[in-house]
Structure 1
Amino acid sequence: MYIQGVDFADTSIVITEPYFNFSSIQESMNEILFEEYQFQSVLRINSGSLSAHHYFHTKPSELCCLVVDSSFSFTHIAPYCRSKKLHEGIRRINVGGKLLTNHLKEIISYRQLHVMDETHVINQVKEDVCYVSQDFLRDMELAQMKGEENTLMRDYVLPDFSSIRKGFCKPREEMVLSGKYKTGEQILRLANERFAVPEMLFHPSDIGIQEMGIPEAIVHSVQALPEEMQPHFYQNIVLTGGNTLFPGFRERLEAELRSLVPAHLPVSILLPSNPVCYSWEGGKLLAHSPDYEEMVVTREEYEENGHCVCEDKFDI
């Protein structure tokens, strides 16, 4: 197969998949990549492994790191030592950006305007106005105040896809407290939604999801590891995924971890400049490393040995 100047038969591909992926899905991926597209070689790997590779490349003196990947569908916590993941410490929380967006759609539809079919628009609203509260109860009190005392309230102008291509948040000084704006602007007024939605990452039980929040899951993960290694993981926590971009996320996580982790253990959290592409950059580094050729499965190996050669090489 040949697409846009790329000959797959002479191309190697790095493709990510979730931790503990079903073997039936792994086999299907092998068949698609080797038999349908006929790639020259394939590396199936977890995105957290690519992030860990990036981290160890940046800090070669470190031996351990804990990757917290809070993305679209799930949040994964995975410990790595010398670039090898420690399966006993991997945790998954069934809360991700999709759930947050859907919850925001439900809140807005109940309180203001039916937006259940506007996933893309409300996802943009979430990214533009939501933040992680450092003091949830204090912010709830502020959000209930009237008029100018409510410093959390924001007005969001929805797109009409003709004159307004993309929604935007009105500057605080331009907000009209009477709620009357110029004709043609459709406004969402947001207050406690701004911080109540991202709060689900820390307390999923608030909306009936009986799971740990991210801070508790991190502690649960580290406590499953050998005691002498635990301080190294708390000192090398790496945040990846789009949800870590909420303002205040890193600070809130650090504060909650500090209250859960023994006082004599230091806690250090790295938020990369681009947490969304951090694992991709790790894959780019890995593809140029001298170890890459030893990690992949070639089409010849697959044709000779089938799926078992992939199971042996890929530690998923």
Structure 2
Amino acid sequence: MGETTCYILDNGAYTAKVGFCNMEPKIVPNCIMKAKSERRRPFIGSQIDECRDASGLFYILPFQKGFLINWDTQKTVWDYIFSKECCPVNFSETPLIITEPLFNFASIQEAMTEIFFEEYECQSLLRINATDLADYHYRKLNNNECTLVVDSGYSYTYIVPYIKGKKYKEGIRRIDVGGKVLTNHLKEVLSYRQLNVMEESYVINQVKEDSCFVSLDFMKDMELARQKGYLRDIVKADEELEQQTLRLNNERFAIPELLFRPADVGIPQMGIPESIIHSIDSCPEEAKEGLLQNIVLFGGDTLFPGFRERVYNSVRALALDHFDVNVTLAENPITYPWEGGKLLFRDPEFYSFCMTKEEYEEEGKALAFERFDI
């Protein structure tokens, strides 16, 4: 492959987006799963498609609360990703861009650098935040100076202002609500109201993704839910069903509402629109207008129907009248940072951001901390 291509791994807490920059990325679950019916066999990454019984599937995750802590699990998933079964790579010929969380712990950064240089024998490495790649992607397409990146993923939601391509750290806000909190809350609500689904993380996650939406008028939707009832007609008791039916009523919009009102589940934080305004208010005066005009949303939670419109309506209501507000939902909210990595590789400055194996052997981890501004 030579240096004409680059291997990009957007290593999310729920899915890894991976591939060479001259191909389409693969989306691989970043976990090992085990099924109650097939206890002996772990399903790694996309092997989950081979599982015959999705009920009772449980996840073994490398990430907890947004940080990589289970190295054995992560290493198993990486070995699968880099193998012939998924997306094979020779790191001695191909530079690697890998993402890591904002404010990542020094010990995790060190371990990551070490694994890729020493175990995978990577020749050229760039560790970077997914939000940096999202900002780069947006700037390349829009030629703007300021971007407000909203990353609403599995573990949390981050709001990150960028001024001339640099993170403005005083403006970063984190909300401890992401896809995992929503799925867990849906499990609790359904278990309380209907049927014990506490062991059904995989199935309920699918239910959430297929059925939930963000309300644009919560009280009106509550009234509608009261009058009209359920997602599908309730089956009469005498009709035989092979499967159990879950009835979804106001859960469909009350679950994603937690992104806008974390206090509803006892998390004493602001919702996304208030956090956006709070973040912008802590930035330099001259950047505020540009940030409001360039809000970009990505991450799995932004796929809920109504998400962009709700963020826009709420931010518009909170912002000063004489400022324009523009909210863009990434074309593909899952692969948006990965696509940013693809654009970054074409940047003439690309190699100046990277660290080589040679530099690592000469100067060690200290240079990695200097080079990668996480």
Report the TM-score, using the length of structure 1 for normalisation. Answer: 0.88
Q: Tell me by how many angstroms 1:179 deviates.
A: 6.5
Partner Cα separation in structure 2 for residue 180 and residue 103 of structure 1: 31
Aligned to 1:307: 365
Aligned pair in 2 of structure 1 residues 109, 180: CA closer, same or farther (>3 Å)? farther
Report the TM-score, using the length of structure 2 for normalisation. Answer: 0.75
Alignment of 1:120-159 (within 5 A): 120-145=202-227, 150=228, 153-155=230-232
Give secondary structure in 2 for the equivalent of 1:10.
coil
Aligned pair in 2 of structure 1 residues 45, 177: CA closer, same or farther (>3 Å)? same
Aligned length: 291
Aligned to 2:164: 82
Q: Tell me by how many angstroms 1:143 deviates.
A: 1.6
Aligned to 1:29: 112
Partner Cα separation in structure 2 for residue 177 and residue 11 of structure 1: 56
User: Aligned AA for 1:128?
Assistant: D
1:97 to 172, 175, 179: 179
Q: Which moved more, 1:175-184 or 1:12-21?
A: 175-184
Higher relative contact order (CA 8 A, sep 6+): 1
Partner Cα separation in structure 2 for residue 222 and residue 142 of structure 1: 35
Partner Cα separation in structure 2 for residue 9 and residue 195 of structure 1: 49
Q: Tell me by how many angstroms 1:3 deviates.
A: 4.8
Deviations 1:9-66 (A, max 9, x none): 2221111111111111111111111111110011000000000111011112x11110
Aligned to 1:15: 98
- Is 2:350 the partner of 1:268? no
Alignment of 1:108-257 (within 5 A): 108-145=190-227, 150=228, 153-155=230-232, 175-176=233-234, 178=236, 181-257=239-315
Q: Which moved more, 1:261-270 or 1:133-142?
A: 133-142
Partner Cα separation in structure 1 for residue 331 and residue 318 of structure 2: 27
Q: Tell me by how many angstroms 1:270 deviates.
A: 0.4
Question: Which of the pair has more CA radius of gyration?
Answer: 1
Partner Cα separation in structure 1 for residue 154 and residue 346 of structure 2: 28
- Is 2:134 the partner of 1:57? no
Partner Cα separation in structure 2 for residue 258 and residue 39 of structure 1: 46
Q: Tell me by how many angstroms 1:117 deviates.
A: 1.1
Aligned to 1:166: none
Runs of 5+ unmatched residues, structure 1: 156-174
Runs of 5+ unmatched residues, structure 2: 1-78
Partner Cα separation in structure 2 for residue 17 and residue 123 of structure 1: 24
Partner Cα separation in structure 2 for residue 181 and residue 94 of structure 1: 43
Q: Tell me by how many angstroms 1:106 deviates.
A: 0.6
- Is 2:340 the partner of 1:282? yes
Q: RMSD of the alignment, in Å? A: 1.6
Partner Cα separation in structure 2 for residue 40 and residue 107 of structure 1: 49
Contact 2:163/2:287 (CA < 8 Å) preserved in 1?
A: no
Q: Tell me by how many angstroms 1:8 deviates.
A: 2.1
